[in-house]
Structure 1
Amino acid sequence: MKLLWLTVAALLLLTQLTPGGTQRCWNLHGKCRQKCSRRERTYVYCTNNKLCCVKPKFQPRENLWPF
């Protein structure tokens, strides 16, 4: 029975770890990934040729009236 609880605890800990550890970008507001989620946009590219996925609220706004 103790072996069962030890196995369950080990599996729960392994599910909490992120696979590969994502690299941060864009002032630590974005993550380097192969594909962005629906709620993220690509603004720049990471140094490892992946997309820097950033939520729209952290991206600079486009200047509608350039002078």
Structure 2
Amino acid sequence: MQQLLLVLTVTLLLAQANEGTQCWGSSGKCRQTCKETDVFYILCQDGNKCCVNPKYVPAQLHKEN
């Protein structure tokens, strides 16, 4: 029973650690590659991309191709 609790605790901690640091206020996440639904406009301090949902990007920065 204790092993199950230990495995569950470690799994939850690792899942939270993989979410990435926050950027763009707190609307974005620093990742190596952005999700298909996110856009990339700036770099994070660690060199990763700041992936932001387009609805949080100001209109003058949002470009439509």
TM-score tier by shorter-chain length is 0.7 to 0.9
Contact 2:22/2:29, CA 8 A, preserved across alignment: yes
The corresponding residue for 2:11 is: 15
Contact 1:40/1:53, CA 8 A, preserved across alignment: yes
Contact 2:19/2:29, CA 8 A, preserved across alignment: no
Deviation at 1:34, TM superposition (A): 0.6
Identity percentage of aligned residues:
32
- The structure with more radius of gyration: 1
- CA RMSD after TM alignment: 1.9
Q: Deviations over 1:3-55 (max 9, x none)?
A: xx111111111111233662211001111111111221112111221100111
The corresponding residue for 1:60 is: 58
Q: Which runs of 5+ in 2 are unaligned?
A: none
The corresponding residue for 1:37 is: 35
Distance 1:14 1:43 in 2: 33
